[in-house]
Structure 1
Amino acid sequence: MSAQIKGKKLKIEGGNRLVGETKVDGAKNAALILVPAACLATEGVSYLENIPSISDIDVLIEIMREIGVTSYREGASLSIEGNGLRNGHISETLMSKMRQSILFLGPLVSTLGEATIYLPGGDNFGVRPIDIHLSALESFGVEVNVNDGIVYARAKQLPLKGTKITLRLPSFGATVQSLLTACRATGETIIENVAMDPEIMDLIQFLNSMGAKIKVTDDRKLIIQGGNRLQGIQYQIIPDRLEAGALLTAFAMTKGSGIIHGVIPGHNHAIISLLRDVGLAISFIRNNSILVDASEKLSSFRVTAGPYPGLSTDLQPLVVSLATICNGESIIEDPVFNSRFSIRSELIKMGAQIDIDSSKNLMRINGVNRLKGSFVEAKDIRAAVGLVCAGLSSLGTTYVSGLEHLHRGHGNLVDKLFELGAKIKYVSSEQA
């Protein structure tokens, strides 16, 4: 954990309208899949630019060191040397820190022939089907066994052979796992029912620039001609659409106005469409800035989280936070993760009126005129951001703990909010 936040809370004095201009960081979910992809390079060095300042990147660097890959980070740049995969074991300590650590499994077993890792950790919000990852690897001829929380994977032969995979659901992680493994396999691999998130499209562009041959079809299918030598390259990571969503929500909940720079507006279509329906005035400046004005009264809404281009389940806690101050009843459904409602209990402490229907994975939120400051705890990354936004809009002072989750996904968000006029700062637990 960063020394900046260890043993600290966020103190937020609510009721201050956000005004001004800001810029988003590089996409966390893009960086976390480009790093294991860069480890597939058989020669050269990959230079990743626009790396976000988050603690999860530090974990990836430790994992690379453990498996033999040399990397060097300087500011927003990360260099990764190719042809470095030498050790197929990742320790439990590192695997427990983040979900995306499992994405090294395919590159390791397809390069070394075997790998031993622990089941991954990360945010806890319900069933996240690792079986889809393992089933995909088995399609390539990999024997997989899981015992006492340890995953043992061994290739029946190397190189792996291309195959056809139909994913049970369009899982983001399983799509990446299958794609990375296919790049090492010889012959053609077809992956059906894939996730089509912007970060995955960015990954495909990165791999093709390295020398891979990947084709995307219109029916959620990837066709990969594997076995090509991959060369390290220089690459700019796309902007973080989830941070853009967080900033848009912060403007909305404080009735603020401003400009968010360094974005790809099309990546944020779902949240922008919803916010327009709620009552925000949103327009675009050129092709990389969003102008937002939230001075109007906010209306209630109904939305279901789903695969891209739908509303990302990562934005669901933020949307729940927003609904608490919208006029009328809002209904939010999340069939993607069955327990991603940890923010509910904390928002109730702030005066929110939220009922949950677990059988349908939905929440009904009756908007209140104003939330009230309270002591709340973040249980995952997105809940942390939602609680910060709730604190910004509340009457009185809010103290947010669990900041390790916030900094796993957003290293600079607090500074950006402060610069926009929020009364927000880190305090020691004794000061809270």
Structure 2
Amino acid sequence: MATVTSAGAARGLAAAGAAASARARRAPQQQARRLSSRVCSSRRDSNVDALSAEEEEVLDDVLALENGVPAAAQQPRAAEADSLEVAGLASLEGHVPISGAKNSALAVMAGAVLCDGEVLLRRIPGLTDIESMSAVMRSVGCRVGPGSDANTLVVDARVLTSCEPSEQSVKRLRASFFMVGSLLARMGEARVPLPGGCNIGLRPVDLHIRGMEALGAKVSIEHGRVNAVAPAGGLRGAKIYLDYPSVGATETILMAAVGATGETVIANVAQEPEVVDLANFLNAMGARIEGAGTNSIHVTGTGLGGLRNPAEFSIIPDRIEAGTFLVAGAITGSSLSLAPVVPAHLTAAIAKLQEMGCQVIIEGPERVRIVPTAALKPADITTLPYPGFPTDLQSQFTSLLAHAHGTSVVRETVFEKRMGTVGELQRMGANIKLIGCDTAVVEGGWVSGTPLLQGTHVSASDLRSGAALVLAGLAAEGVTTVHGLKHMDRGYCDFEAKLSAIGADVRRISTGDGQW
């Protein structure tokens, strides 16, 4: 039966509905204000409890909505207990699209804070690390949201409200510490918590601090927070030497130097492609940087206050993702093509694959193909800063070397806890002996005509370890269940979908409490 109401009653119902809707909208905003107030109070008064992780997530979500990010566009958080079932003895075929480089995207996002305008970033991978960095940026007042095209991100840092990013957000992501350099250059002050990230060893920030001090900043560490303040006359250009070519220190000091007055020369810098990408992005916004990609970078600073040129910028392809899928082809005896890639960024990985007997064919300026060999040869690997063999591919190649015919030696010289994959590969039957914490002797080969590795339950200890165990599972006999997908979700975009598209039988599952 239809219900008829008078015009006055209808207006009353509409008003009541609008009021209820307004209250519903205000509720999360009011909650966010209460949480924000608690953040400020806890920073001033140690007797006030800091936010829990759950409260930080609520605050991040509300800030995301206020910054114009629709709920559907927000990156879903990885379930702590998710795992991946991988069917072994896989035969793969086809083409793998390579996403934008995570490590470049995160540094470029931090660099966008330097721009007093709107920035459009292209080829942004859909990763939990990207959303974590977005949350850090929103916590200082940036508006961050998806662009109109796929894999794009719009950053508007014209109105910064704080030089102090959310502690809980920073702890989720080590790369968020880059903000100390860009905030110092833009605002003359930065108060950034010490970072989190994968547990792959000590990654101190002393080089970052010494670089900022050389530019004239007063830097202190108090209660787990790095406080950097420019002097009254602003940052001044300086000659800076890095004891080690750290990527993070190079990028942090590079961004800080943009906000200095005069010339800065940074010697013994990291030469990674991601550093070059950041320098190119900063130049697109009006910075004056020369020498990125060599061992010495020259910066002509513009002074505090930021860069004035809004920019559109495309992130380089992810060389680590590309290297991972090259190993996927080699370990399963499958031919795969990859694009877009920059072949020059893969020189070390390609050289080792060729040494092991594989062919890597450059089919175009941004396309490569791996043609596997029936009998993999052993090879020795030592990780080094770029252009040496990348530490981020060491775990994947260790899985591959377990299938080579002979003895290989893997030496990790960058991170002292990067051998966590070895114990899990041993669970699968790999014959690997650890010498100390940085060297693995891999006795590869086949046993009685059957695959050396056997499927079982294994756990990823970090991002690259997870990928290495999935690769091992593809070549093992039986089903391998890789636990700890939260690590891989940080660094591999649509990993399962890309594997499935080339013929892998993989399935994401939730194991409840994560126990097995």
TM beyond 0.5: yes
Q: Is the CA contact (8 Å cut-off) linking 2:185 and 2:255 kept in structure 1? A: no
Q: How many residues align?
A: 430
Q: Is the CA contact (8 Å cut-off) linking 1:40 and 1:83 kept in structure 2? A: no
Please, which of 411, 426, 430 is the counterpart of residue 508 of structure 2? 426
Q: Give 3-state SS (helix, strand or coil) of 2:493's partner.
A: coil
Residue 107 and residue 279 in structure 1: after superposition, are their counterparts in 2 closer, same or farther (change >3 A)? same
Please, which of 265, 269, 275 is the counterpart of residue 194 of structure 1? 269
- CA distance in 1: counterparts of 2:338 and 2:206, whole angstroms: 39
Q: Report the CA distance between 1:230 and its aligned residue.
A: 3.4
List structure 1 segments (4+ residues) > 4 angstroms apart after TM superposition: 3-6
- CA distance in 1: counterparts of 2:420 and 2:232, whole angstroms: 44
Q: Percent identity?
A: 35
Q: Report Cα offsets for 1:159-212 as digits up to 9, x if no partner.
A: 211111101110000000010001111110100000111111111111111111
Q: Is the CA contact (8 Å cut-off) linking 1:272 and 1:282 kept in structure 2? A: yes
Counterpart of 1:57 in structure 2 is 130
Q: How does 1:159-174 map to 2 (within 5 A)?
A: 159-174=234-249
Residue 4 and residue 206 in structure 1: after superposition, are their counterparts in 2 closer, same or farther (change >3 A)? closer
Amino acid at match of 2:369: L
- CA distance in 2: counterparts of 1:316 and 1:171, whole angstroms: 18
Counterpart of 2:98 in structure 1 is 24
Q: How does 1:141-156 map to 2 (within 5 A)?
A: 141-156=216-231
Amino acid at match of 1:22: V
- CA distance in 1: counterparts of 2:424 and 2:298, whole angstroms: 45
Q: Is the CA contact (8 Å cut-off) linking 1:197 and 1:309 kept in structure 2? A: yes
Counterpart of 1:285 in structure 2 is 363
Q: Report the CA distance between 1:217 and its aligned residue.
A: 7.2
Q: Give 3-state SS (helix, strand or coil) of 1:245's partner.
A: helix
Please, which of 233, 241, 256 is the counterpart of residue 311 of structure 2? 233
Q: Is the CA contact (8 Å cut-off) linking 1:85 and 1:108 kept in structure 2? A: no
Please, which of 11, 27, 35 is the counterpart of residue 109 of structure 2? 35
Please tell me whether residue 183 in structure 1 is matched to residue 183 in structure 2: no
Q: How does 1:226-375 map to 2 (within 5 A)?
A: 226-227=301-302, 229-358=307-436, 361-369=438-446, 370-375=452-457
Q: Is the CA contact (8 Å cut-off) linking 1:113 and 1:157 kept in structure 2? A: no
Q: Give 3-state SS (helix, strand or coil) of 1:373's partner.
A: coil
More displaced stretch, 246-255 vs 208-217:
208-217
- CA distance in 2: counterparts of 1:218 and 1:72, whole angstroms: 30
Residue 379 and residue 142 in structure 1: after superposition, are their counterparts in 2 closer, same or farther (change >3 A)? same
Q: Report the CA distance between 1:115 and its aligned residue.
A: 2.2
Amino acid at match of 2:442: I
- CA distance in 2: counterparts of 1:30 and 1:394, whole angstroms: 33
Q: Give 3-state SS (helix, strand or coil) of 1:365's partner.
A: strand
Please tell me whether residue 124 in structure 1 is matched to residue 199 in structure 2: yes
Q: Is the CA contact (8 Å cut-off) linking 2:208 and 2:249 kept in structure 1? A: yes
Identify which of structures 1 and 2 has the higher relative contact order when contacts are C-alpha pairs closer than 8 Å and 6+ apart.
1
Computed over aligned residues only, the root mean square deviation of the Cα atoms, in angstroms, reads: 1.7
Larger C-alpha radius of gyration, 1 or 2?
Answer: 2
Q: How does 1:89-100 map to 2 (within 5 A)?
A: 89-100=164-175
Amino acid at match of 2:347: H
Q: Is the CA contact (8 Å cut-off) linking 1:52 and 1:76 kept in structure 2? A: yes
TM-score (norm 2): 0.81
Q: Report the CA distance between 1:216 and its aligned residue.
A: 0.5
Amino acid at match of 2:146: R
Amino acid at match of 1:403: L
Q: Is the CA contact (8 Å cut-off) linking 1:67 and 1:87 kept in structure 2? A: yes
- CA distance in 1: counterparts of 2:336 and 2:293, whole angstroms: 36
Q: Report the CA distance between 1:218 and its aligned residue.
A: 8.0
Counterpart of 2:37 in structure 1 is none
- CA distance in 2: counterparts of 1:145 and 1:253, whole angstroms: 48
Please, which of 208, 219, 229 is the counterpart of residue 133 of structure 1? 208
Gaps of 5+ in 2: 1-74, 447-451
Q: Report Cα offsets for 1:52-78 as digits up to 9, x if no partner.
A: 011000011111110111121244010
